[in-house]
A and B are shown apart, each in its own frame.
Chain A
Amino acid sequence: MNIHLLYKKTNGIIIHSNRPKLACCIGLAGLCIGWAPLNQGVSGVRINPKNTKALELLLDSGEKTSITTDKPMMESEPSPDGQYVAALVLNSTPTAGSLPKSTLHVWSKEGPPITRISGAQRFEFSPDSKYLAVILGRPYEGALGFITERVEIVSLPSCKSVTAQGLESARDIAWIKRRPPFGLQLIAEVSDENGRSKIVRYNPVNGRIRNTHLKGLHCSPDGEFYVLTAREAEQAGMCRGRRAVTEGCVQAFTWENRRVRLPTTLKIRGRIRWARRSGHELLVNRRRLRRQQMMSRSSDSSDTVLLDVGTGAARVVQDAPVDWSWRTRRGDVILKNSGRPRPRALQKLRKRILYRKLQQNY
């Protein structure tokens, strides 16, 4: 039975989950409808917005803990199995207008850092948490924010690091796990001598690189779909013409059997995230201006949409702004209500919680 877990804390943090396992209700103040998962690990991580030297961890048990560093942090991420946490730590305390280098710190869920990788700019845990891919480079004001020097593949938990040959020009990376014989692969956007981008796949076991026909990196967890962002679609020449761009040229493709099909055009302007456990569903944050008729002023409103790429169906899962800094393991998402609490919206939310629990899905 697929129970929808959702609870709200008094500080405005709202947690969604669709884990099938039941456990005790998390004893937090305020509204509490839901169950904690049984596995022990890190389910959420975020940099404390008031103190960027502190990393807050939310454990599966519902407890909160923190890791403190002596320098500010920029980005953080838990591994999919919840056993590791990685964060980009600045090498120096930033002064106004500086773009300092950063070091990737990787912690196990308890204890000191297990490895540090200097010069890291971007990192991605593999879906099975056995590898960590890291782009190393130096900061650059423009392009993708850095100039790539190399890509390293770190095996966990041994922390043995291997330089990925042939990915020296990688701009972005992502992991996909497909059915055999493909298995786990790192896909990377690289450029040739003429600056033309292409997407290659790298096998972390034998170190081989193969070209792909892909145009984008945002693959669904089951490997069935990928989504082109506006930048990727532009680059691939897929959304020429102003109208297409204005209406949203983000597109989803199936790529099974190397045959690209265009099932839907998505009007997505923000960051694209796959709900990793649900297969085909995208989590989309929408912000828009809502004009009030009686008063001649407009207000900012926001919601989060769960979009099934296969069918094109969209469902609003949260009618509030979303802070993406929280993220649970296994692809569940923790949403932080970053706006001011709106009493009417909260009342609707409470009703929806009860109804959704009965509906068993969202």
Chain B
Amino acid sequence: MTPTMLIRGLFCFLVCAPGCVGSRPVPRPAPVPEPDPPPTVPPTTTACGRLKLFDSDGDGISNSVEDTNAARRYADLQTGRCDPDPTRPTGTPHSGQLSGALNLPDDGDGYVHFLGSDSADQDDWGSLQTLTCIEQVGRQLRENNLLLNVGDISLRGGGHFPPHASHQNGLDIDLRYIRKDRRSVPLDLRIEPQAYDADATKLVMDAFVKLCPVHIIFVDTDRIQFPIEDTPIFHANGHSNHAHIRLEAPQL
């Protein structure tokens, strides 16, 4: 074997080129079939945020709020589109405004809005944080077969909302106490103390404190019949027929 042949053989051995002299024939690999594309899984997040069943575009505004406000032309919102938070609460609950207010749907998942003596879509305008909070608590309470009865929040645009001293920037929520018969009707603890469900009402308060940035809660502490130590719950006169929840102002 000449040196030339040796070098050639070594080269062929290294590159395994077919047809080389002195190299063993290498079987051509069978063509690998193209793998099937993986099944299409809908993305769980978008650039907008995490998708949820009740928020199909992940923008943090639920489908229910978007549909209600878009259908009634209160705000330019769409499901399937990433909408920014249009609400801007300013000032304080006692002297404030609410630009870009969103309307709470009258009938939602685990909650219902009652009108009282106000007309429809007059008293239920809030910040996105407030509406999201109500929806979250409602979903949690639905698991306990409870229905949240939501009353006054703010007027559209905020400002003075008689007869309230507060409720001016969309961060205050009035709620009915929970009745034992679970009916969505008024309950005054002075008039019908026997109809009051203290355990269920405590569940509601706990849910708000756990899920929402609660600043303070006003109730009639003489009549609610559960401990309030280590909670943001305080007594306020005139709260025998509703509880008043105030949220922290969002950081804008």
A: residues with CB less than 8 A from B are 72, 74-75, 90, 94, 96-100, 139-148, 171-172, 191, 193-197, 229-231, 234-235, 237, 242, 245-246, 250, 269-272, 285-289, 300, 324
Contact = CB atoms under 8 A, between A and B. Distances in A.
Which of the four size classes fits the interface of chain B? 35 or more
Given A141-B174, A141-B242, A142-B242, A235 B221 contact: no
Contacts of B174: 141-143
A289 B229 contact: yes
B92 A300 contact: no
A144 B209 CA distance: 23
Contacts of B111: none
A230 B92 contact: no
A270 B228 CA distance: 8
Given A97-B185, A142-B174, A142-B242, A269 B165 contact: no
A198 B93 CA distance: 15
Contact of A271 (B181, B185, B187, B235): B235
B216 A270 contact: no
Interface string B164-198: 11101000001010010101011110111001000
Interface in B196-228: 215-216, 218, 221-222, 226-228
Given A75-B190, A229-B234, A270-B221, A287 B227 contact: yes
Given A229-B234, A231-B234, A288 B227 contact: yes
B165 A288 contact: no
Contact of A231 (B161, B186, B188, B236): B236
Contact of A196 (B94, B161, B227, B239): B94
Chain B interface, DSSP helix/strand/loop, else mixed: loop
Contact of B215 (A75, A99, A147, A242): A242
Contact of A269 (B116, B163, B228, B239): B228
A234 B245 CA distance: 13
B240 interface: yes
24 contacts: A94-B192, A96-B181, A97-B186, A99-B241, A100-B191, A140-B116, A140-B163, A141-B117, A141-B151, A142-B151, A142-B241, A143-B238, A145-B188, A145-B238, A147-B162, A147-B163, A171-B163, A172-B238, A194-B160, A195-B94, A269-B234, A269-B235, A270-B235, A289-B227
B183 A97 contact: yes
B235 A195 contact: no
B91 to A, nearest CB: 11
Contact of A245 (B151, B166, B215, B227): B215
